[in-house]
């Protein structure tokens, strides 16, 4: 039975710019302030993309290590580094993200058209990422951009074994142009497909752009968890740009509470996801 709600904040991403959204956290200080405030509101996981001094997306390992350390010093949040990076990042840099020893890392389960770009995730790359995470005790969040990627996940787990910690958690990333639509019907189809995955598999969902609210509500009502943040949404409501990540987390917490699905603390989230304390 589902009880609490796991709330993940994805505050930065690799695609938006300060010109699009002035409050986008792009420096380490901005990220740490955001993380602390989102944790105080009810977030338990932070999905992290970092930027360089010019606010361009980077997978610089030194910066990633510094970021993991700073987030651990200042918060109890579960630190999930993006292994997806930006569409231009090479596979070697994406694998090296694990050298920063996060609690979790994302693992996207297939290639997808990504607006005008292509987000490449070859099968051999996925197997390599999954295996390295098993060896290092980094817990994956399997990112699902399309329904067939759940079939790939089933194949991955049956051929290469369960992830570190033994628990399977997936995130439906919905409404990317080229992937799943951000609709209740699509979310229900994904949830149904989870029956072919190990018992106890949990899911969260995030709706890009204007699908944010419908996906939030559909996920809660289907027993799922939530991801929100400026990586996914830069418009709070029609004609109203997002003012901060906290605004999005506060709204998700409000919806969760209305659904009587209290936000999980980071400690409770660790238990759910099989992450050591
Ligand atoms: N920025 C996208 C190309 C992830 O973080 O793992 C990939 C992405 C998924 O955001
Ligand atoms: Zn991401």
Q: Rounded to whole angstroms, how far apart are CA atoms 160 and 201?
A: 17
pTM exceeds 0.80, yes or no: yes
Atom of ligand 1 nearest to the CA of 114: 3
Helix (H) / strand (E) element for 240: namely: strand 240-241
Q: How many of the other CB atoms lie within 10 Å of CB of 239? A: 6
Residues touching ligand 1 (Cβ under 6 Å) are 13-14, 82-84, 86-87, 106, 108, 114, 119, 143
Q: Which ligand is nearest to the CA of 104?
A: 1
- The backbone region for 110, taken as left when phi is positive above 0, alpha when psi lies in -120 to 50, beta otherwise, is left
User: What gap in Å lies between CA 226 and CA 219, rounded to an integer?
Assistant: 7
- Domain ranges across the chain: 7-273
Mean pLDDT of the chain: 97
Under a CB-based contact definition with an 8 Å cutoff, are residues 85 and 117 in contact? no
What CATH number is given for 7-273 in this structure?
A: 3.20.20.70
Residue nearest to atom 8 of ligand 1 (CA): 84
The ipTM (two decimal places) reads 0.99
| pLDDT reading at 1 higher than 70 | no
Cα separation of 139 and 130, whole Å?
Answer: 9
| Band of residue 277 on the pLDDT scale cut at 50, 70, 90 | confident
| pLDDT band per the 50, 70, 90 thresholds, residue 2 | low
For ligand 1, atom 1: residue with the closest CA: 86
């Amino acid at each position: 039975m589902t009880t609490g709600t796991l709330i993940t904040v994805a505050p930065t991403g690799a695609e938006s710019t300060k010109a699009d959204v002035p409050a986008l956290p792009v420096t380490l200080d901005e990220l740490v302030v955001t993380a602390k405030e989102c944790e105080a509101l009810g977030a338990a996981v932070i999905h992290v993309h970092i930027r360089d001094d010019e606010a361009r997306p980077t997978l610089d390992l030194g910066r990633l290590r510094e970021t993991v350390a700073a987030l651990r010093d200042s918060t109890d949040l579960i630190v999930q580094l993006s292994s997806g990076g930006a569409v231009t990042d090479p596979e070697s840099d994406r694998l090296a993200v694990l050298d920063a020893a996060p609690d979790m890392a994302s693992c996207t389960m297939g290639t997808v058209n990504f607006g005008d770009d292509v987000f490449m995730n070859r099968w051999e790359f996925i197997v390599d990422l999954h295996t390295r995470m098993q060896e290092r005790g980094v817990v994956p969040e399997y990112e699902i951009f399309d329904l067939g990627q759940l079939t790939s996940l089933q194949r991955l787990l049956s051929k290469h074994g369960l992830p570190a910690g033994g628990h399977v958690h997936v995130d439906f990333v919905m409404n990317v142009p080229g992937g799943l639509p951000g609709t209740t019907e699509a979310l229900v189809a994904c949830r149904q497909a989870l029956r072919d995955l190990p018992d106890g598999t949990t899911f969260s969902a995030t709706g890009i752009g204007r699908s944010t609210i419908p996906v939030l509500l559909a996920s809660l009502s289907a027993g799922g968890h939530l991801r929100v943040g400026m990586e996914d949404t830069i418009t709070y409501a029609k004609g109203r740009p997002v003012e901060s990540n906290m605004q999005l987390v506060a709204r998700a917490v409000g919806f969760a509470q209305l659904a009587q699905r209290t936000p999980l603390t980071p400690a409770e989230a660790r238990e759910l996801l099989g992450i050591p304390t």
